[in-house]
Chains A and B, each alone.
Chain A
């Protein structure tokens, strides 16, 4: 168990809808990273937060947004969903140069 918790495990929704994915980092970790894993594009970095502030941005669509709250948990919001957004979304937190990953949220857009 990595200590990183992601909810929900599975999410099925329709095109055009909006969903929120939640991540609780390991106790004491200040950084949270979001990654998207799809069949055709591998593991893509989306965004990083450090202690509530955005630290780095990757290939994140404008329809997606994230935030990190004072208790350090993070949420990834995906809106105007398209079929191509179906993927596994991972959250990771870091300590001493290592990323620790949650088990992911599998999003299916129908």
Chain B
């Protein structure tokens, strides 16, 4: 079964510092990987995805993620954190069955940016 793991429940970063939110994956075949963000009382919003190609993927709000096949990781990064980046972040992997875009999510990482 496809799965992703987010080893950190909580990450605290000072405003202006670089941030990293970690994700590792376990899949059979090529992975389709995603990052979503959830703000309070809102649904999940798409940030970025990796399907194929360049290992560094750029997404919304200045976020990027690095796909590393040898380490089976897909860490989310941002060079300079903003207080408004504080939210719950989910890594996800897509089902491999054709025509099925079901996502399996990690447990989430709560990111807090400290002013």
A45 and B104: CB pair below 8 A? yes
Does B51 reach chain A (CB closer than 8 Å)?
A: yes
CA distance A102 to B45 in the complex (A): 9
Is B14 among interface residues, defined by CB-CB distance under 8 A? Answer: no
**Chain B: CB-nearest residue to A58:** B102
Cβ of B100 < 8 Å from any Cβ of A?
yes
Asked if A104 is at the interface (CB within 8 A of a chain B CB), the reply is yes
Task: Spot the interface stretch: A14-22, A48-56, A63-71, A72-80.
Answer: A48-56
A-B contact count (CB 8 A): 55
Inter-subunit contact B104/A103 (CB<8 Å) = no
Residues from chain B with a CB closer than 8 A to the CB of A98 are 46, 49, 101
> Any chain A CB within 8 A of the CB of B87?
no
> Is A103 within 8 A of B42, CB to CB?
yes
Shortest A46–chain B CB gap in Å is 10
Any B CB within 8 A of the CB of A2 = yes
* Residues of A17-56 whose CB lies within 8 A of B: 31, 33, 35, 42-43, 45, 48, 50, 55-56
Inter-chain contact B44/A42, CB cutoff 8 Å: no
Within 8 A of A (CB), among B4-49: 32, 36, 41-46, 49
Q: Chain A nearest CB: distance from B97 CB in Å?
A: 8
Name the one of A4, A50, A103 contacting B99, with C-beta atoms under 8 angstroms: A50
A48 and B46: CB pair below 8 A? no
Jot down 15 A-B pairs with beta carbons below 8 A, ordered by A.
Answer: A4-B43, A31-B101, A42-B106, A42-B107, A43-B44, A45-B104, A48-B102, A55-B100, A56-B95, A92-B44, A101-B43, A101-B44, A102-B43, A103-B42, A103-B43
Listed in ascending order, the chain A residues whose CB lies under 8 Å from chain B are: 2, 4, 31, 33, 35, 42-43, 45, 48, 50, 55-56, 58, 90, 92, 94, 97-104
Told that A2-B45, A42-B108, A101-B36 touch, could you supply 19 new A-B pairs with CB distance under 8 A?
A: A35-B105, A43-B44, A45-B104, A48-B102, A56-B97, A56-B102, A90-B44, A92-B44, A94-B101, A97-B101, A98-B46, A98-B49, A98-B101, A99-B101, A100-B46, A101-B43, A102-B43, A103-B42, A104-B42
